Amino acid sequence: MDKAAFLKRLTAIARGDTPADMVIKNGLIADIFNGRIIRADVAIYKDTIAGIGSYRGKKTIDAQSCYLLPGFIDGHIHLESTMLSPMEFARLCIANGTTAVVIDPHEVANVAGIAGIKYILKATESLPVDFYIMAPSCVPASDLETFGHRITASDIKRLLKIKRVIGLAEVMDFPDVVNGKDAMLKKIAISENMVVDGHAPLLSGKGLSAYIAAGPASDHEATNISEGREKLGLGMQIMIREGSVSRDLKNLIPLANKFSLNSLSFVSDDILPTELLKEGHMNRILRRAVSLGLDPIMAVRMATLNTARYFNLKRIGAVAPGYKADMVFTRDLKRFNINTVIKNGRVVYKNGKFNLSINKRDSIPSNIINSVKARPVIELDLLVKAKKEIDVIGLIPNEVLTKWLRLNPKIKN
């Protein structure tokens, strides 16, 4: 069916002239545009919502007064950090109401280069979650590390031509951007007219202005209200991070108000499989946000529509006519436990059971696995010659930022 014929049928259903493929009745729809809950039917044609109102359909689903929310979107995650295959990660996403993710595969690129990114693209193309890929901007993150591959500006230019590659991933080398270094600026310039994600921990003042002026439009590194407010005030999309290590939600929730609403999103960056299994994914962040006093509808918007709009993802992120039929049913707006998930107009998860076949094993190319070649470790490798004062990396609880410490060690042997 061509697009015009599809729209002809869609509008006929929306007018009420033709039965929908499926109608959801007795649901409480989260109207994230007006910040309210409405009781109405949702008419679906193929993978698209045709209308909200009173409708008839070939098939009817009784929502039993569940809240109908848009499918959740994680706007920044490194799939590799979950230590799960794309298929297993997708399974946990669906079970927790996440229907789309934006991933930065810079870790697999560091090890396997372009071949690694192509593997991620292929492995995610037919899963029940929409995987959008950002082209890694900083591989390696630093020349100080041992790395397997380097992603160049030419590589990025080729990647940006691929359909599901939607922009340039977090520009971590903010010093080179601020100081006008050609190599980094060339990567940003190549990404013109596409989304460029930022990464600027503790950057402030004129340095921050220089960074934003160059192109990065978001930041997920703010850890306190002052940093978040400055970046927000300079036009950045603030991605409030609540992951397994970095937990910035409590500090940044006060940013949310009627003026900032559109410029705030929730991201995980990153989450361990044990936490995914026990606590959930984006629904876990929503649960915490509401417990901290955030309005539930505002919280849902920050986990759906705001993220979609920032990434220029058209027609996803809301329960509204013309939007993709990706929906989540939940019985309350405090715990966000998932009852049913509809993806592309199909029920794919209900009452703890999957209604789709994603049981095949992931096929990983031989050039991706067994890629790290290291000689056996010997005792001398572990010998550290003692000094009176040594450099120490100091951990900060619930953050990925660290402190530089100079300490006097206890010396034995």
User: How buried is residue 250: exposed, middle or buried, by Cβ count under 10 Å (0-12/13-18/19+)?
Assistant: middle
Structural domain containing residue 173:
71-314
- The helix/strand/coil state of 8 is helix
Q: Supply the pLDDT for residue 208.
A: 98
pLDDT of residue 253: 97
- Per residue in 353-385, pLDDT tens? 999 876 556 778 887 888 777 889 999 888 877
Whether residue 197 is contained in a domain is answered as yes
Distance CA 203, CA 187 (A): 20
> Do 261 and 298 form a contact (C-beta atoms < 8 A)?
yes
pLDDT of residue 360: 59
Residue 182 lies in a domain: yes
CATH code, 137:
3.20.20.140
Look at residue 358 in the predicted model and tell me its pLDDT: 67
Count how many domains the chain has.
1
Q: Residue 388 has what pLDDT? A: 81
Determine, yes or no, domain membership for 235: yes
Residue 210 lies in a domain: yes
Q: Residue 109 and residue 120: Cα distance in Å, rounded? A: 10
| Assigned domain for 45 exists | no
**Which two three-digit tokens encode residue 60?**
């009817």
Half-sphere CA count of 154, side-chain side, radius 13 A: 1
pLDDT at 387: 79
**Following CA atoms 275, 396, 102, 307 in sequence, which dihedral angle do they give, to the nearest 10 degrees?**
100
Q: Residue 361: what pLDDT?
A: 65
pLDDT-flagged residues of the chain (< 50)? none
**pTM of the predicted model, to two decimals?**
0.93
Domain presence at residue 376:
no
pLDDT at residue number 152: 95
The reply to whether 216 falls in a domain is yes
Q: Note the pLDDT of residue 356.
A: 82
Say what the pLDDT of residue 293 is.
Answer: 97
- Residue 256 belongs to a domain: yes
